[in-house]
A and B are shown apart, each in its own frame.
Chain A
Amino acid sequence: MTTTHAAPEAEESGESAEQTRFDRTIARDQRIEPRDWMPEGYRKTLIRQIAQHAHSEIIGMQPEGEWITRAPSLRRKAILFAKVQDEAGHGLYLYSAAETLGADRADLTLRLIEGRQKYSSIFNYPTPSFADVGVIGWFVDGAAICNQVPLCRSSYGPYARAMVRVCKEESFHQRQGYELLLTMMRGTEAQRAMVQDAVDRWWWPSLMMFGPPDAESPNTAQSTAWKIKRHSNDELRQRFVDMTVPQAEKLGVTLPDPELVWNEARGHHDFGTPDWSELKRVIAGDGPCNAERVARRRTAHEEGAWVREAASAYAAKQADRARRTEVSA
């Protein structure tokens, strides 16, 4: 971190001037950039949010990655490969953004594999059928788009810019998923049943992706004031439901919510309440795949250590050689 500390007596007046400048930048809807002064709470909130977001992308490679070797055609395999590679890329854009706030990438990875930082609860659910790949693209990436499009206008410049990049790529993810499902729905009765089963399993966890209801979301007000967040959890959840219902109709599947109905007066769909105790449980570590996901990330990190060390040793040797050649020349 590169916060410069003023002398104690100068600190108070100095900081309030800085605070004023920061507040004015936010009020004018301008972006905060890495070297600007910012309140510690703003920095901490962003590091936490961006790190969790990055971890989600990295862990998010696993549920679908399991299907790469078993994809039913070369076309699907190539698509899935590209998608999982994108998730890795998204994670790296975000770690890059977190580093502009003074976070350290290696430290963030440690926090993830030691369970000290969270990632999206959705990736703790299993992917027992290939239809899950399609439904993840449709629901999970669709929900991610709802969440991420407003983040392109987030007040912190590097985060917003990373989101622009991510959103451009996310559209491919959602479309490939929906197209996969369309193909399966044109197939056999058994394939249609697989799609419906996947829809049934993923619908509620996807709604939970938007976080707890607004009344129980303590950080929302401050994040909104800082313009890190542009819409509340419930607003985004509503947007996702409204967006998805006609897509489900077109696809020919039933969303597993008997309370789901168009409300003419509101101009939105009414829908049932997700099981928030399940969300709490999964976030607390007691989801179907929590331990497995983190263990796999830890193994990958530990088994890759020798590669990172070898690359460093090679770079050091090359640099040393170059120096010696320079000296002797």
Chain B
Amino acid sequence: MSEVNGAGEMGGTSDVSGVSSVNGEWPLYEVFIRGKRGLNHVHVGSLRAADNRMALTHARDLYTRRNEGVSIWVVRSNDIAASTPDEKDSFFDPSGDKVYRHPTFYTIPEDVPHI
């Protein structure tokens, strides 16, 4: 399961760690691409590959056929730890009640320039 499945936490169908599974099926990789200099790598999808090097060349052929990237990261889907939607309420609570982290929390007189 891709798109950051977090199989580790959710008990998904994880195969033998680090290596292609016994039945010859290649493990799933998530692909991240830096579109151009100055931008972050962004998740674009997943693919199957036997190892890291093949994952990179497959990612190049699959996701950058039209100069969509200058740099690629690939990572085994099983190696990604992800928050779950179930945790949503409590997991993201710490930021919920801290309005003072936002600039709009502070009232500044209209006539103060550049702030």
A residues near B, CB below 8 A? Answer: 1-2, 4, 33-37, 82, 85-86, 89, 92-93, 96-97, 99-102, 104-106, 157-158, 161-162, 165, 169, 305, 308-309, 311-312, 314-316, 318-319
Contacts and interface: CB of A to CB of B under 8 A. Distances in A.
Nearest to A310: B50
Contact of B1 (A92, A99, A305, A314): A99
Contacts of A158: 2-3, 45
B85 A37 contact: yes
B7 interface: yes
Contacts of B13: 1, 104
A104 B46 CA distance: 13
B79 interface: no
Contacts of B23: 106
B10 A85 contact: no
B11 to A, nearest CB: 7
9 contacts: A34-B4, A35-B3, A89-B65, A92-B62, A100-B2, A158-B45, A165-B44, A311-B50, A319-B19
A1 B12 CA distance: 6
Interface of B: 1-7, 10-13, 18-20, 23-26, 28, 44-48, 50-51, 54, 61-62, 65-66, 82, 84-85
A36 B4 CA distance: 12
A35 B82 contact: yes
Given A2-B10, A4-B10, A312-B26, A35 B5 contact: yes
A97 B44 CA distance: 11
B5 A315 contact: no
Looking at B20, B25, B65, which has the most chain A CB atoms within 10 Å of its CB? B20
A106 B51 contact: no
Contacts of B84: 35
Nearest to A97: B45
A161 B54 CA distance: 24
Nearest to A309: B24
Contacts of B11: 2, 4
Question: 7 nearest interchain CB pairs?
Answer: A312-B20, A311-B50, A315-B51, A2-B10, A315-B50, A34-B3, A2-B12
